[in-house]
Structure 1
Amino acid sequence: MKMVIVTGMSGAGKSTALNVLEDEGYYCVDNMPISLVVKFAELAAGQEEGYSDIALGIDIRSGNALGEFDEVLDELSRRHYRYKILYLDSSDEVLVKRYKETRRTHPLAKDDRVDKGIARERKKLEFLKKRADYIIDTSQLLTREFKQELEKIFIQGEHYNNLFVTVLSFGFKYGIPSDADLVFDVRFLPNPYYVSELKPLTGNDKAIQDYVMGFKAARDFLDKITDLVAFLLPNYVQEGKNSLVIAIGCTGGKHRSVTLANALADRLKHTEYGCKVEHRDIDKDTKRKK
C-alpha cells in the first residue's frame, strides 16, 4: 500500500493535489482527524482490494491535534507503512492575493489580517515541511503546470528535487521583475529591433533566434549562464529553496531576452529540475501601439 500525506499552506493547492491523486486511483480523505490516521492506515492495509493507494489531507484545520502528528508519523514508520509527505507552499504575497480573490477567511486569521494568519500557519507547519519528501512551491505555477509536476512525481515516478525554475524574459524599460532571484542583462548583444525586417518579430520566431544566436557572444553567454545555473541549483536545493526565478532582460523584452530565455529553458528542461519559461513583456509594444 502506498500512502501520500498532502499538507502545506492553506491556499497553496491541496485540494487540487488530492483531486489529481483521486483521478489516478488513490482513495483520498481530506481533513481526517489526527487520532484516526494510524487506524485508517491499518484498515486500508488489511483490505484485499480497493485501498492499494491512499492519500490523506492533513493541515492546519486539525487545530491543536496537529501537534500530535509528529508522533503519528513516527508510529506509521514503526509499523512499516510506506508514506510520503507532499508539502505545498507559496509566497505570502500570492497567498494573500488568493484569499482576497476568493474572499475566504484564513483559518488562523479570524478577525485579524490574513498575513498574520499566514505567519502563524507557517510556524505551526514548520515541522511538517522539515519532514516532507516533496515540496512544491505553487507561487509561479498555473493549475495545468502544477498538475504536470504532480504527475511527474506520483504517476511517472520521476526524481524530484523540490525546486522549480521559472526562466522569465523581460524588458528593462518596464522594470525589473520584483520576484526575480537572478537577473541577467543581455542588452550587450546586437539588437534585432534595428533590422527592419526583424523588428516586428519576437524571440519566438526562428529568424530572430538565428540572428541573436548567430553572434558568438550570445552562444558564449548561454554556455556560461548554463554552467552557473547548473552549479547553483543543487546548492539552492541543499539550502531548502523551493522555487527560483531567473530573469533575462533586454531593452523591450521582445527579441534578445526572449531568445536567450527560451534557449536556457530548453537546456534546463533536460535536467532533473522542474522548469518553465515565461515572457512578461513580449506583447507590450504591440498593445501600446493599439
Structure 2
Amino acid sequence: MKKRKIVLVTGMSGAGKTSAMAVLEDMGYHCIDRFPSFLIDNLVNEIHSGKTVGFDNVALSVTAKDFDIFYQTFKNMDAEVIVLFLDASKEQLLLRYKYNRRNHPLVVAGLANGLEEAIDAEIKEFSAIKSSATIIIDTTFLTAQNLTSRIQRFFSIEGKRTLTLSFISFGYRKGLPRDADLVFDVRFLNNPYWEESLRAQTGNDPAVYSYVINDEKTQEFLKHIESFLDYAFEKYVEESKHLLTIAIGCTGGQHRSVSVVNWLYDHYRKDYTAFKDHRDVVEVKHD
C-alpha cells in the first residue's frame, strides 16, 4: 500500500510559503494553513480514518514555534514526511517587505521592534529546522514561475520518491547559489570567451558545447567528477535524501558551467529524475 505523503511547509516569512502552498493545492494536496497545534490529535485521527477524501496527500504550513510537535507527531505515523523549507537572503526579504508594504508577523505580534530585527530573530529561530529539512528552496533569485516549476518537479503525486538531481550553472560574479549541496568550480577549463566567434554564444549552443566538452582538460575533469558523483549519489540514496542540488560555476555563468551542466544532466537523467537550470545565462553577456 502506498504511504500517505505529508509535507510540512515552513521557512522564512516572505520567502514564498503562501505561494508554495497554493501550488501544492493546485497539484491535489489537501492544504491546511495555521492549523492549531493543540488539535493535532484530531487531525491525525482524521487522516488515519480515511473517511475524508483527499487526505492521502496533505500539506501543512507550519511556524517555527509549532514545528517540533507537528514533525514528531507525523514521524510516528505510517507516512512519508517531507519538510519543505523556503528561504531567501536577508537583503531580499527586506526588499520584498518594503515593496509590498506588509508588516512582518513578529512585528505584528509585538515580538520585534522592526523589520530587520524580526528577520534576524527568524533566522535564529529557524536555524535548527533548516538543518533538518528534506528540501530547501532558496527563492532569492527565483520568479514565481521558477518556484512553481520546482515545486511541481519535487512533489508530483504520481512521481516515485527517488533521489532527484537538480543541476545549476552559475557565474561567480553573482555569487554562489544559496541552496546548493555540492559546488564545483570549472574556471580552470579553457574559456570559449576568448574565441571571438563563440563569445556571444552560450553552452546551450552546439559550437560552444563542443569546444568545452571535447577539450582534453574537460574530458579529464568529467572522468573525475563522474566517479565522485556516482559514489555520492549512491550514499545519498542510502540516507533517503530526496533532493540534491549540484552547482557548477564559471566566471560569468554563460559558457563553461552551462556546457558542463548540460553534459551532467544528459548523463544522469537516464538513471535519476534530473532537472537543470542555467541561472545566469539570460542576464550575463560575458564569461
Q: Which residue does the alignment assign to 1:18? A: 21
1:206 paired with 2:206, answer yes
Whether the aligned pair in 1 keeps the contact of 2:169 and 2:253 (CA below 8 Å) is no
- Equivalent residue letter for 2:190: F
Partners in 2 of 1:36 and 1:225 — Cα distance?
49
Q: Give, in angstroms, the shift of residue 219 of structure 1.
A: 2.2
- Once the two structures are superposed, the pairs formed by residues 111-260 of structure 1 within 5 Å of their partners are 112-126=113-127, 128-129=129-130, 132=133, 134-139=134-139, 140-151=141-152, 152-155=154-157, 156-160=159-163, 164-168=166-170, 170=171, 176-179=173-176, 181-186=183-188, 188-189=190-191, 191=192, 193-194=194-195, 196=197, 198=198, 200-228=200-228, 245-249=247-251, 254-260=254-260
Partners in 2 of 1:148 and 1:24 — Cα distance?
12
Q: Give, in angstroms, the shift of residue 262 of structure 1.
A: 3.0
Partners in 2 of 1:126 and 1:279 — Cα distance?
26
Whether the aligned pair in 1 keeps the contact of 2:11 and 2:85 (CA below 8 Å) is yes
Partners in 2 of 1:227 and 1:125 — Cα distance?
35
Whether the aligned pair in 1 keeps the contact of 2:202 and 2:281 (CA below 8 Å) is no
Whether the aligned pair in 2 keeps the contact of 1:3 and 1:82 (CA below 8 Å) is yes
Q: Give, in angstroms, the shift of residue 46 of structure 1.
A: 3.2
Deviates more, 1:21-30 or 1:91-100: 91-100
Whether the aligned pair in 2 keeps the contact of 1:21 and 1:28 (CA below 8 Å) is yes
Deviation string, structure 1 residues 200-231 (Cα, Å, up to 9, x no partner)? 54332212323343432232233334445556
- Equivalent residue letter for 1:58: V
| Unaligned ranges ≥5, structure 2 | 178-182
Q: Give, in angstroms, the shift of residue 30 of structure 1.
A: 0.5
Summarize the Cα distance change of 1:277–1:186 in structure 2 as closer, same or farther, 3 Å threshold: farther
Q: Which residue does the alignment assign to 1:63? A: none
Q: Give, in angstroms, the shift of residue 243 of structure 1.
A: 5.5
Whether the aligned pair in 2 keeps the contact of 1:203 and 1:209 (CA below 8 Å) is yes
Q: Which residue does the alignment assign to 1:103? A: 101
- Equivalent residue letter for 2:96: R
Whether the aligned pair in 2 keeps the contact of 1:164 and 1:244 (CA below 8 Å) is yes
**Which residue, 52, 66, 70 being the options, matches 2:68?**
70
Identity percentage of aligned residues? 27
Which of these two proteins has the greater Rg computed from alpha carbons?
A: 1
Q: Give, in angstroms, the shift of residue 247 of structure 1.
A: 1.0
Task: Tell me the secondary structure at the aligned position of residue 260 of structure 2.
Answer: helix
Task: Tell me the secondary structure at the aligned position of residue 166 of structure 1.
Answer: strand
Summarize the Cα distance change of 1:247–1:123 in structure 2 as closer, same or farther, 3 Å threshold: same
Partners in 1 of 2:265 and 2:156 — Cα distance?
24
TM-score computed with the length of structure 2 as normaliser: 0.70
- Equivalent residue letter for 1:118: I
Q: Which residue does the alignment assign to 1:87? A: 84
Partners in 1 of 2:147 and 2:24 — Cα distance?
12
Partners in 1 of 2:132 and 2:218 — Cα distance?
42
Whether the aligned pair in 2 keeps the contact of 1:45 and 1:51 (CA below 8 Å) is no
- Give aligned pairs, total: 267
Partners in 2 of 1:183 and 1:210 — Cα distance?
19
Q: Which residue does the alignment assign to 1:43? A: 46
Q: Give, in angstroms, the shift of residue 35 of structure 1.
A: 0.9
TM-score computed with the length of structure 1 as normaliser: 0.69
